[in-house]
Amino acid sequence: MKYETVHGLSVPKIGFGTWRIGGESYADPKADPASLTALRTALDAGYTHFDTAESYASGHSEELVGRAIRETNAKRENLFITTKISPEHLQYDQVLRSCEDSLRRLQMDYIDLYLIHWPPRAALELNDAFRALNQLVRAGKVKHLGVSNFKLKLLKQAQSLSETPILTNQVPYRLPDKTYVENGVLEYCQQNDILLTAYSPVKFRNLPVNKTVRLIAETHAATPFQIALAWLVAQPRVITIPMSLDPRHIRENFAAAEIELSKEEFKTLSELY
């Protein structure tokens, strides 16, 4: 596995996203067997970064992540756990309560990376949220802070309010979507030691049949999805968190970190559409 190292911390280039683990917006117990199989497969394959949120399956995703880790006897100190606080919980006391609830569901003593999941509904809420988030870091319940779905102006504001470096901005970034290139977020992150965490990294309807991607995939004896992940991995300060319930795809996603694209291949993919 390749890593990005920022502020003395090494984070895997490819982690495991958990949207749809345990359900979607609400818990779905019928999904538990497949969800636990996916998580155990990911742990067995070597994933160490797991990304979840209090809103995923109404917190049930966090419960299953914690359960899979305990049942596989994975060492907590070898893992990097990310979870997120919802925008409706950004008042000071709500942030503290949400963190305690996430720790309880995960059955862990600390969170490696705690993100604000979506921009606040009111500008003043960001000040209140970071007052609590800074307190959580000082108390050792959270190791690192970050944001998600923040555009450049709000990202800079978050930096000014955080007592510790903002570790990441988690945003939708994939072939051929260049929204966060065009709005300046990617370049800013790369220039300021902030990880850009690409979520939904293969959510491109034509990816499996795109001729350019397929030709490059054939060259590397890989799938088009692996090439899309390899393109992200090749970029400085970019990490990604693909999700799958299919054990074969989970392993393929993990292996994509080892694909070395040529400069010409990377350029061709970057200019797609």
pLDDT, tens digit, 9 for 90 and up, residues 84-111: 999 999 999 999 999 999 999 999 999 9
Plot region of 245 (φ>0 → left; ψ -120 to 50 → alpha; else → beta): alpha
The span from the CA of 8 to the CA of 238, in Å, is 16
Q: Write out pLDDT tens, residues 141-164.
A: 999 999 999 999 999 999 999 999
Residues in a beta bridge with 39? none
- At 146 the three-state DSSP class reads strand
The CATH number for 200's domain is 3.20.20.100
The span from the CA of 94 to the CA of 259, in Å, is 43
At residue 272, the pLDDT reads 86
Asked if residue 35 is part of any domain, the answer here is: yes
The span from the CA of 75 to the CA of 141, in Å, is 18
Which candidate in 47, 56, 114, 180 is catalytic? 56
Q: Which alpha helices (H) appear in 31-151, and where do they start and end?
A: 32-45, 60-71, 92-106, 124-138
Q: For 116-127, what is the mean pLDDT?
A: 90
Locate tokens 């497949």: which residue?
Answer: 34
Active site residue 56: yes
End-to-end CA distance of the chain: 29
- Taking 80 as the threshold, does the pLDDT of residue 43 lie above it? yes
pLDDT band per the 50, 70, 90 thresholds, residue 127: very high
Q: Write out pLDDT tens, residues 211-263.
A: 999 999 999 999 999 999 999 999 999 999 999 999 999 999 999 999 999 99
- Taking 90 as the threshold, does the pLDDT of residue 273 lie above it? no
Q: Which two tokens stand for residue 261?
A: 């694209």
Asked if residue 55 is part of any domain, the answer here is: yes
Asked if residue 59 is part of any domain, the answer here is: yes
Locate tokens 């600390």: which residue?
Answer: 110
Asked if residue 266 is part of any domain, the answer here is: no
Q: For 73-79, what is the mean pLDDT?
A: 96
Please choose, from the candidates 61, 237, 269, the residue with its C-alpha nearest in 3D space to the C-alpha of residue 166.
Answer: 237
Please choose, from the candidates 206, 198, 207, the residue with its C-alpha nearest in 3D space to the C-alpha of residue 234.
Answer: 198
Asked if residue 172 is part of any domain, the answer here is: yes
Count the domains in the chain.
Answer: 1
Range of the domain at 61: 3-205+231-261
The span from the CA of 153 to the CA of 112, in Å, is 25
Asked if residue 216 is part of any domain, the answer here is: no
At residue 112, the pLDDT reads 98
Angle at 189 between CA 238 and CA 196, to 5 degrees: 30
